Amino acid sequence: MENNVTTRIRGIVVPMEWDEMGFVISVAIATYSEEKYIVDDSPVGWKLKEFLRKKVTVEGSVTHTESERIITVTAFRSDTGE
């Protein structure tokens, strides 16, 4: 079942996938309520790779599938003052 909901989440940017050289190629947001949102491959989402292991607030459209939550990021801000 899929549905899109615009939301704001807070959490820490964590790596999800690495390439064969060990570079992070996808990230997720681990929330304080222990949920994980996979960040969709979008121009704004790619910028989150610069904030690995940092606290952020993210706004975007969330798609729920049976096993995942995927967020298409429209805006974000660092919660660590960076």
pLDDT of residue 1: 45
Domain count, the chain: 1
pLDDT digits (tens, 9 = 90+) for 37-62: 999 988 999 999 999 999 999 999 99
The two beta strands, 36-39 and 24-31, are antiparallel
pLDDT surpasses 90 at 8: yes
User: What CATH number does residue 56 fall under?
Assistant: 2.40.50.200
> 27: which strand partners?
15
**pLDDT of 76 higher than 50:** yes
Q: Which of 25-29, 47-51, 53-57, 64-68 has the lowest mean pLDDT?
A: 64-68
Is the sign of the CA dihedral 3, 24, 74, 79 positive or negative?
Answer: positive
Q: Which domain holds residue 55?
A: 4-78
Residue with the bigger pLDDT between 71 and 65: it is: 71
